[in-house]
Amino acid sequence: MGNKVKMKTHKASAKRYKVTGSGKIMRNQSGTGHNTGKKSESSRREARKWKLVEGGYEKKVKKSLGI
């Protein structure tokens, strides 16, 4: 009979997201690459934290990670 094909992990997504122990997806905040001098210190500090991926987008990320 036919073999079931395994889905490959999307490597770019695997480098950008991490999965918590409970299965939630975490992402980094954008906007920290350059032009940070004009941004407030509090917004730069907040951008260093990992954020939770929410809504329907989480389903797409999980699919690309093979979860």
Q: Is 26 helix (H, G, I), strand (E, B) or coil?
A: strand
pLDDT digit string (tens) for the chain, length 67 residues = 667 888 899 999 999 999 999 999 999 999 999 999 999 999 999 999 999 999 999 999 999 998 8
Nearby residues of 6 by Cβ (< 8 Å), 6 or more positions away: none
Q: What residue spans of the chain are helical by DSSP H? A: 11-16, 41-47, 57-65
Instruction: Delimit the domains of the chain by residue range.
Output: 11-29+39-65
